[in-house]
Chain A
């Protein structure tokens, strides 16, 4: 078996790389795929917190690289889903503790056993980023509809294009506020894809539930209440698996009622 290695990156910090990694990974594993998450943010790790696995980490990626443990000893199993594992970053070291070569060796190893290897990249374009992309063949560029985030995403896309190993990259537009887009106070989906001329893998609306889920150490896709962000992340996972899922409509209830009307009217018309 050869799995797919997907790096989640952004350039700018705080746009939701780690949140997206946790949710996409969890959503993929819930559909039955075997998924390994790798945190490459050595020294500033956070993926473990979002997954609620911070108290289970015994060995980290650095311990493996430096020969203190075997790879499967360093893989922390998820609390709920046995298909999902985390390879955590070390907190007390820095990015130079792992080289791009070692990183691609790890990805090669994990590819044999997992359907998806999702690599959470640190912010920036320095060694941490170079490590994160080293083993990947696909990339998800996370951005928000803010100038600074889009600019940094553009820079990252330029760097990804220069890498032969990256065969495809897609954009994940995060933290969209539909109300602000409607009043022309925030760039919309089309504006951003236009400027960056990149294909979209998904749009995630701003959702307070994300903060709650981080507090609990439980990715939002595990919630049963089907919040918008949760549905949106599940859709991203389905698109990654090749399904053709239309973009979610974030518009208000009025439109939602209209849609129902349309459903009822449609058969009569046709």
Chain B
């Protein structure tokens, strides 16, 4: 069985040392054609230093491959990867869930015949494993119920709320203010500052407010900014708002109106 399953992914999570990882990497690059691709790399719980990450990046770049997202559960590796300017996630299940889709696609796209039966079997097995793992991690998530911070005050410029959990604010968040939460952010008012939800990598976190006019929104490691010359009407308190929710959809932060 190959180390990789689909074309835009690379699973190195089974490597136990950095040297082993780099050797495997070379092997994979030799056997596969990744030419000019953005790939998702899974490093599992492997601990890597800045130098290792740099080597990984350079080796991939020399084969015209760039890293789309790096999955790792090791804090040190995350730090090193962030330092190298990479997008990092610790949600390995995301890697495997993308895996599923791609596998299905691969299976579909291959017509019957040839000698693919064995591989299809192993793929199916892997698919089951992946589903198991996803279910497991979902349970884990549910086990970890997040606390909620309730603030009855308008946040002004320079004020910052940083909380491990969800944040509820009854009031506005003025330009220059900042809300950072590992969970969801709910504002009963207008967000005009910066809001960062799901800071520990939770792609399912979202930001809700009566009006989202934020200069920047961040969810997990994605961020979106206000357009430069947005012709947003001057906000008028008396006009009625349609509440809005920002969440991640297809790798981008999108603001949806919440009108029934």
Residues on A close to B: CB < 8 A?
A: 43-44, 52, 54-58, 69-70, 73, 79, 91-92
Q: Mark B158-179, 1 if CB is under 8 A from A, else 0.
A: 1110000000000000011110
| Cβ contact within 8 Å between A92 and B159 | yes
Top 5 A-B pairs ranked by shortest CB distance? A92-B160, A55-B225, A55-B226, A91-B176, A55-B215
Complex contact B178–A91 (CB within 8 A)? yes
Given known pairs A55-B216, A91-B178, the reply for A73 and B85 (CB within 8 Å) is yes
The total of chain B residues at the interface (CB under 8 A) is: 18
Closest A-chain residue to B193, C-beta based?
A91
Q: In the complex the two chains form, is B228's CB within 8 Å of A79's CB?
A: yes
Which residues of A sit under 8 angstroms from B223, Cβ to Cβ?
58
Q: Which residues of B contact A56 (CB under 8 A)?
A: 225
Contact A43 B228 (CB under 8 A): no
Q: Which of A52, A58, A69, A92 is B216 in contact with, Cβ under 8 Å?
A: A58
Residues of B within 8 A of A70 (CB): 83, 85
A54 and B83 contact, CB distance less than 8 A: no
Given contacts A54-B215, A91-B176, whether A43 and B158 have CB atoms under 8 Å apart is: yes
Tell me the complex Cα distance, A91–B179, Å: 12
Q: Which of B222-245 contact A (CB under 8 A)?
A: 223, 225-228
Give every chain B residue within 8 A of A57 (Cβ-Cβ). Answer: 216
Cα(A25)–Cα(B237), bound, Å: 38
Rounded to whole angstroms, the CA-CA distance of A218 and B160 in the bound complex is: 28
CB–CB A91/B225 < 8 A: no
Interface contacts beyond A79-B228, A92-B177: sample of 13 additional A-B pairs, CB < 8 Å, sorted by A: A44-B158, A52-B228, A54-B215, A55-B228, A58-B216, A58-B223, A69-B82, A69-B83, A70-B83, A70-B85, A91-B176, A92-B159, A92-B176
CA distance A101 to B227 in the complex (A): 37
List B residues at the A interface (Cβ < 8 Å): 82-83, 85, 157-160, 175-178, 215-216, 223, 225-228
Contact, CB under 8 Å: A91 / B85: no
Nearest CB in chain A to that of B226: its residue: A55
What are 9 A-B interface contacts by the 8 Å CB criterion?
A44-B158, A54-B215, A55-B215, A55-B216, A55-B225, A55-B228, A69-B83, A73-B85, A92-B160
A92/B178 contact (C-beta < 8 A), A43-B158, A55-B216, A70-B83 known: yes
A59 to chain B, nearest CB (A): 11
Inter-chain contacts of B159 with A (CB < 8 A): 92
Q: How far is the CB of A51 from chain B (nearest CB, A)?
A: 11
Measured CA separation A92–B82 after assembly (Å): 22
CB proximity of A73 to chain B, nearest CB, Å: 6
Most A Cβ at <10 Å: residue of B158, B159, B178, B226: B158
**Which residues of the other chain, B, contact A58 by a CB distance below 8 angstroms?**
216, 223
> Are A91 and B157 in touch, CB under 8 angstroms?
yes
- Report how far A86 CA is from B14 CA in the complex, Å: 42
Q: How far is the CB of A77 from the nearest CB of chain B, in Å?
A: 13
Contacts of A52 in B (CB 8 A): 228
Chain B residues with CB under 8 Å of A44's CB are 158
Smallest CB gap from B155: residue in A = A92
Contacts of B157 in A (CB 8 A): 91
Instruction: Give A70 to B81 CA distance when docked, in angstroms.
Output: 11
Q: Are A92 and B158 in contact (CB under 8 A)?
A: yes
Distance A7 CA – B228 CA, assembled complex (angstroms): 29
Return the chain A residue nearest B176 by Cβ: A91
Chain A contacts of B177 at CB under 8 A? 92
| Complex Cα spacing A43 to B158, Å | 6
CB distance from A232 to the nearest CB of B (A): 27
Across-interface contacts of B82 in A (CB, < 8 A): 69
A57 to B177: give the CA distance in the assembly, Å: 13
Which A residue's beta carbon lies closest to that of B230?
Answer: A55
* B158 touching A91, Cβ below 8 Å: yes
Rounded to whole angstroms, the CA-CA distance of A31 and B226 in the bound complex is 30
Q: In whole angstroms, what is the CA distance A145 to B178 when docked? A: 38
| Residues of B close to A92: CB separation below 8 A | 158-160, 176-178
Give chain A nearest CB distance to B161 CB in angstroms.
9
